[in-house]
Amino acid sequence: MARGFYKALNIETGEEASVMLLIFQSVFLGVFYGTFDISAHSLFLEVFEQSMIPKAFLVSGVVGIVMTSIYAWLQSRIRFSIFSIINLSFVAILTVLMRFGFGFFENRTVVFVIFVMMGPINILALLGFWGTVGRMFTLRQGKRLFGMIDTGQIIGIIVSSYSIPVLLSFAVETRDLLYISAVSVVVALLFQFIISGRFSMEQKEVPAEEESKTDTGLAAMFKSRYIGYMSLFVVLLISVTIFVHFSFLGVARESYPDHSDLASFFGYFNGTLMVFSVLIKTFVYGRVLKTWGLKLALVISPLLILVFTIVAAVIGGVFGLAASFTMFFLIISVTKLFTKSLQDSIVAPSMKILYQSLDSKIRYSVQARIDGTINEISVLLSSLLAAGLVSLAFFSLVHYTYVLIILLAAWAFVAFKLYQAYRNSLNSSLAKFRQSDAGIEKTDIRSILDRDLKSASMISIRNALGFVEITDFEGFKNALSALLKSASDKIRRMSLRRIDELNLPLSEAELEAGVKQEQKGKNKDIASDLLKRLDDYRARKMTSDDMMLMAKSANRNDRLIIAMALFELKEFKHHAILNTLLRDPDPHIRTTAIQVSAFWKVSEASPVLIDFLATKYFRQAYDALVRIGEEAVESLEQSYYKSGIEQHTLNRITRILGKIGNTEAINSLLGKINYQNREVEEIALLALLELEYQSDENNLQKIIDGVRTSVHQIAWNLAALSTIAENELGESLDFSFREELEVSFNRLYNLLSIAYDPNSIHHIRQNLESGTSEGIGFAIELLDIFVSDEVKPVLFPVLEDTNTVEKIRQLQVEFPIVIMEPDELLLSIINRDPNLVGPFSKAAAINAISQLEKTGLTDDLLAQVFNPDELLSELAALQVNRMDKPSFEEVLDRISADQKSRLTKQVRDCEEGWENLIWDRMQLLMGNKYLKGLSSKLIYKIAKEMELVHLMPEQSFDMVGDDGTAKFGLLRTGELDLRVDDKELGNIPVNDLVGVPPLIILKKNKIKIFSPAETSMLIGSQSLIDDMMFDNEDLALAMYNWAGDQENRWQIITKEMVS
């Protein structure tokens, strides 16, 4: 029950004690402030004339500046956990002394001190409290919790305010209300002792952003028109607030001459004011900002208060105060109510949004100066002005309203000008984003490999070269050419060997020049052999018929000679010969023929090369198609319509179009937006972004349609997550849908980056993901400037800082979205289009079915046993067998013999505790530190290609076969020792990767794993992992990080092997 209570309050596990302590402390601080404020005002107005109010505020402002300055100075010199106790102790002692001061000093003196100290000690208490809160929670935690913690203080003020009239009715004196303030702050101090003792406040402090050296002094601030208007806005806000407050105190004193009645009135009024503020902040501010924007949020306060003030001025001026005092009092009271509540609920949050548009280097400095120095100076100036006006003989309460009208008119004018400056600031921010070179930062595997290829370490170069060969064949050839310029004989020799083994053409100028330089060095044997063969190819003079005969020769060497000779022609006219060689059974000859196609850019070979994308020759074919370029685009586009084409082939075709990047290729990629295959669409969007494509008007509608489908998908996922979290349907399902949500948002931002400036969208995304209401509000304001009006009604609801239920409610106008019941949701996930939900999410939903007591065996679950996807059919079979064994037996009779055998074995293994489902393998892989950041879709592809093996004690396993094929695995349980050439390297820990570390290209060595005890592990082919690395940079980066760690771990043995 307790957990449900905390969950309802959005308090996460581990936060319960800290949040509850702070809420209780804030309630007592609210009671302290509420009783002190009412007591101070009532006592002051009982003892002093109205003319003393400005003078008292003037003194209070000076005291406030001094005390807050001392607070800031001490805070930076004393550990905050101790300083927070000292600060609140000072407030408590001062409160107690002021109450007991009535027994030792003249009443007037004590009352004046209480009134003067009212503001400063409240500021000190709140500074200490929010300083504590800010240090205990991160920014994201604060977004969830600060509003709730602040509610405690509001409750305290409301309760104390409404309690005061009741207490006074029992003949409690107004001055004795200070006892309640003193007790409340002492209790708050006790809570502070507990909080400081139980929680660390130093470690969680967020370091301030490094500020620019730009001068942000008061004089420099006003050089910026935007900051100047912001400062003037605050000055007029404070001036209006103080004049309204003076007017209110004056009419209240006239209406309630008895101090007890006055205190009761203040109690009712302050309580109502706080309730009103909460209602406006909860139900009005968000709607105003969302519907009419920041402009109305800024101007509504001065305009609304101006209306009430004009009414008050007319009533007081025309009818006279004596004749119409009651009506005048009511109007001034309503004006005070709106002034304070609008300031707290609308103006203050709006100012936070304004600060977000400032340069981050000066933002916090400017905010501190405006909220601190400018604020206090405004109090002093307003108090001086009021004091001066009160000293005039003719000045009365009604004259306050005349001054207010002038101030309010100026405030409204400045509010309009401030909004214009704000819009200009937003446009300047967007201009800076567009011109920014920082762009979108991403770790690029190719840049890392290029760096390591320039390393002085032979092992690092071998590793990097091996990964380049796997991920980028064109880059691999360039790397070999670059390594021929190395100062190391060993590195140049390694490069020459790889050129020889792969029959790379020397005809490209840089490669031939590099080999010629080796003729007189230590590597002249390999270099001379390569150049001799090159001369032989060039010296041969053959007719086309002779070349065709040799291309069809049974002698492998003849066919290889012809393939290499095709590089040395002056012009290419031998399509038939090339076509024959492209179908040669020998892998080396076929690879050489593919490189001929690339060298001469033979577009006629495109269809054959596209077929090669599904074979082991895909790297060379990929490179050839990219080099052929625009003449291959038509064949590539036609491939999308072939039946039976594999997914990875479609992905590679899409990447090739992105590499070609001409107009026809871009049009083909644009055609993949809203494509039936979402994996292809995702690659197409990334390719368009890499090409820095910006949509024109002709394609904008297609992108907007894509944005709408993305928002629909996000809304569906949000609704699903709501049901999953509320009904605790399992961590796996929750994780999978958070990943689905991330994928949907990535698609949305990618589409927006193509439609609009990508740097602007990147910075907007950063603000949206900051988790703060101000950051989100600023991002929405930026989007509002340039996003199409057509897309705003669907885009803004999903981005705004509202809860899931509210987002769905707003989006239901556009899309059929509902928050489903758990059983309905799970079946919907299982049956949902695979383009809209991934296999891992479907699998997690099948697993979650067993958690629902009321859900029995359904046709939907039975149907999944027939699913060709092994992940889903295995889990469905397991669930059906658990729910209804006879039904499972019946289903087995309706499927193929192979599938029946597989599912029967899997179910039996699970019953015996042998976890060998694809789901189980995925869980193991996702738990590995190198692989855990990869998408579940990629992990699924890896898991499908691996199997669980069991090693008995003292058993060994070859990681490299006699044919040179390497294995790759992950240790599940037990122990493993790695041995290379019968030399033991060391122990492999559980859940670590097992492979050829890091010597991917040194397959001549005998690499074995040895199990000292009973062991289980996942095993798969290294070549399949290599193929996946070509298609996925994230996997390549993960494997390269692993290889680098292995290099450091096995440094001694790897150095020996390299040497």
| pLDDT tens sequence across 156-197 | 888 888 888 888 888 778 888 888 998 999 999 999 899 888
Quick one: average pLDDT of 190-212? 63
Radius of gyration in angstroms for the set of CA atoms belonging to the chain, rounded to a whole number: 38
Are residues 373 and 333 located together in one domain of the fold?
yes
Q: Going by DSSP bridges, is the β-strand pair 993-994/967-973 parallel, antiparallel, or unpaired?
A: antiparallel
Is 920 a residue whose pLDDT tops 50? yes
Q: Comparing 811 with 439, which gets the higher pLDDT? A: 811
The predicted-structure confidence for 434-469, as pLDDT tens digits, reads as follows: 555 544 555 678 888 888 888 877 778 888 888 898
Give the helix/strand (H/E) hosting 967: strand 967-973
Task: Provide the β-strand partners of residue 1010.
Answer: 956, 977
Are residues 976 and 1013 located together in one domain of the fold?
yes
Is 750 a residue whose pLDDT tops 80? yes
**Sole residue written with tokens 């023929």:** 593
Closest-CA residue to 651 (of 671, 615, 678): 678
Is 208 a residue whose pLDDT tops 50? no
Ranking 294-308, 722-736, 747-761, 816-830 by mean pLDDT, the lowest is 294-308
Give the pLDDT band of residue 658 (cuts 50, 70, 90): very high
Quick one: average pLDDT of 83-110? 88
Q: Report whether 348 contacts 16 (CB < 8 A).
A: no
Name the residue range of residue 798's domain.
699-855
Q: What is the structure's pLDDT at 842? A: 93
Give the pLDDT band of residue 258 (cuts 50, 70, 90): confident
Closest-CA residue to 704 (of 755, 760, 764, 757): 755
Rounded Cα distance between 1051 and 884, Å, is 56
Is 712 a residue whose pLDDT tops 50? yes
Percent of the chain with pLDDT over 90: 23
End residue of a domain, out of 539, 560, 585? 539
Are residues 425 and 498 located together in one domain of the fold?
no
Ranking 471-475, 536-540, 831-835 by mean pLDDT, the lowest is 536-540
Are residues 100 and 139 located together in one domain of the fold?
yes
DSSP reduced 3-state for 8: helix
Quick one: average pLDDT of 404-410? 89
Q: What is the structure's pLDDT at 1000? A: 43
Q: Comparing 803 with 357, which gets the higher pLDDT? A: 803
**What b-and-e string marks burial along 601-623, b requiring 16 or more CB atoms within 10 Å of the CB?**
ebbebbebbbbbbeeebbbbbbb
What's the one-letter identity of residue 1012? P
Q: Report whether 397 contacts 321 (CB < 8 A).
A: yes
Q: What are the residue ranges of helices labelled H in 280-391?
A: 286-291, 294-314, 321-342, 348-356, 363-368, 375-390
Are residues 936 and 1018 located together in one domain of the fold?
yes
Rounded Cα distance between 340 and 439, Å, is 43
Quick one: average pLDDT of 996-1010? 61
Q: What is the mean pLDDT of the chain?
A: 82
**What b-and-e string marks burial along 43-59, b requiring 16 or more CB atoms within 10 Å of the CB?**
bbbbbbebebbbbbbbb
Is 998 a residue whose pLDDT tops 60? no
Q: What are the residue ranges of helices labelled H in 601-646?
A: 606-612, 618-628, 633-638
Q: Comparing 190 with 279, which gets the higher pLDDT? A: 190
Q: Comparing 539 with 258, which gets the higher pLDDT? A: 258
Give the pLDDT band of residue 814 (cuts 50, 70, 90): confident
Among 197-206, 264-273, 551-560, top mean pLDDT goes to 551-560
Q: Report whether 117 contacts 98 (CB < 8 A).
A: yes
752 Cβ neighbours under 8 A, 6+ residues apart: 707, 761, 787
Q: Report whether 382 contacts 411 (CB < 8 A).
A: no
Rounded Cα distance between 637 and 684, Å, is 13
Q: Report whether 303 contacts 410 (CB < 8 A).
A: no
Q: Please count the other Cβ atoms lying within 10 Å of the Cβ belonging to residue 960.
A: 21
End residue of a domain, out of 437, 469, 487? 437
Quick one: average pLDDT of 56-81? 80
Q: What is the structure's pLDDT at 438? A: 47
Residue 1010 phi, psi dihedral angles, 5° rounding: -125, 130
Residue 1015 phi, psi dihedral angles, 5° rounding: -140, 145
Ranking 11-25, 137-151, 245-259, 1029-1043 by mean pLDDT, the lowest is 137-151
Rounded Cα distance between 392 and 51, Å, is 10
Ranking 198-202, 615-619, 874-878, 910-914 by mean pLDDT, the lowest is 198-202
Closest-CA residue to 885 (of 863, 870, 907, 867): 907
Question: Is 129 within the bounds of a domain?
Answer: yes
Is 880 a residue whose pLDDT tops 90? no
Quick one: average pLDDT of 873-896? 86
Question: HEC profile for 131-199?
Answer: HHHHHHCCHHHHHHHHHHHHHHHHHHHHHHHHHHHHHHHCCCCHHHHHHHHHHHHHHHHHHHHHHHHHC
Q: What is the structure's pLDDT at 254? A: 78
Give the pLDDT band of residue 64 (cuts 50, 70, 90): confident
Q: What is the structure's pLDDT at 211? A: 40
Question: Is 491 within the bounds of a domain?
Answer: yes
Closest-CA residue to 940 (of 859, 843, 826, 1042): 843
End-to-end C-alpha distance for the chain, whole angstroms? 67
* CA–centroid distance for 905 within its chain: 43
Residue 488, token pair as written in the block: 């190391």
Quick one: average pLDDT of 763-779? 76
Question: Is 632 within the bounds of a domain?
Answer: no
End residue of a domain, out of 500, 518, 539? 539
Are residues 483 and 427 located together in one domain of the fold?
no
Q: What are the residue ranges of helices labelled H in 455-508?
A: 458-471, 473-483, 489-501
Give the angle 737-741-747 at the CA atoms, nearest 5°. Answer: 140
Quick one: average pLDDT of 419-443? 66
Q: What is the CATH number of the domain that holds 939?
A: 2.60.120.10
Are residues 189 and 46 located together in one domain of the fold?
yes
Number of continuous H segments (helices) and E segments (strands) in the chain: 50, 8
724 Cβ neighbours under 8 A, 6+ residues apart: 730, 733, 734, 737, 825
DSSP reduced 3-state for 63: helix
Question: Is 591 within the bounds of a domain?
Answer: no
Are residues 219 and 195 located together in one domain of the fold?
no
The predicted-structure confidence for 846-873, as pLDDT tens digits, reads as follows: 988 877 766 677 788 888 889 888 999 9
545 Cβ neighbours under 8 A, 6+ residues apart: none
Write the CA distances from 716 to 4, 711, 792, 807, integer angstroms. 25, 9, 18, 11
Q: Comparing 65 with 293, which gets the higher pLDDT? A: 65
Q: What is the structure's pLDDT at 646? A: 92
Among 310-324, 676-690, 787-801, top mean pLDDT goes to 676-690
The alpha carbon torsion through 187, 192, 198, 200 (nearest 10 deg) reads: 170
Q: Report whether 22 contacts 146 (CB < 8 A).
A: no
Give the helix/strand (H/E) hosting 591: helix 587-600
Is 213 a residue whose pLDDT tops 50? no
Q: What share of residues in the chain are helix, strand, coil (percent, to 5)?
A: 75, 5, 25
Is 221 a residue whose pLDDT tops 90? no
Are residues 412 and 448 located together in one domain of the fold?
no
Question: Is 692 within the bounds of a domain?
Answer: no
DSSP string, 637-685: HHGGG-TT--HHHHHHHHHHHHHH-SHHHHHHHHTTTT-S-HHHHHHHH
Question: Is 279 within the bounds of a domain?
Answer: no
Q: Comparing 76 with 1045, which gets the higher pLDDT? A: 1045
Rounded Cα distance between 373 and 360, Å, is 20
Rounded Cα distance between 899 and 684, Å, is 35
Residue 113, token pair as written in the block: 């001190």
Question: Is 41 within the bounds of a domain?
Answer: yes
Q: What is the CATH number of the domain that holds 14?
A: 1.20.1250.20
Are residues 163 and 57 located together in one domain of the fold?
yes
Residue 662 phi, psi dihedral angles, 5° rounding: -80, -175
Residue 301, token pair as written in the block: 């306060």
Are residues 44 and 165 located together in one domain of the fold?
yes
Give the pLDDT band of residue 895 (cuts 50, 70, 90): confident
Rounded Cα distance between 46 and 334, Å, is 23
Give the helix/strand (H/E) hosting 711: helix 697-727
What's the one-letter identity of residue 809? R
Q: Going by DSSP bridges, is the β-strand pair 1015-1021/1007-1011 parallel, antiparallel, or unpaired?
A: unpaired
Give the angle 837-840-844 at the CA atoms, nearest 5°. Answer: 100
Are residues 452 and 429 located together in one domain of the fold?
no
Closest-CA residue to 235 (of 414, 35, 467, 438): 414
Long-range contacts for 467-473 (Cβ within 8 Å, ≥24 apart)?
467/1000, 467/1029, 467/1036, 467/1039, 467/1040, 467/1043, 469/1001, 470/619, 470/1000, 470/1026, 470/1029, 470/1030, 470/1036, 471/445, 471/446, 471/1029, 471/1030, 471/1033, 471/1036, 472/446, 473/619, 473/620, 473/622, 473/623
Residue 808 phi, psi dihedral angles, 5° rounding: -65, -40
Question: Is 825 within the bounds of a domain?
Answer: yes
Q: What is the structure's pLDDT at 691? A: 92
Total number of domains constituting the chain: 5
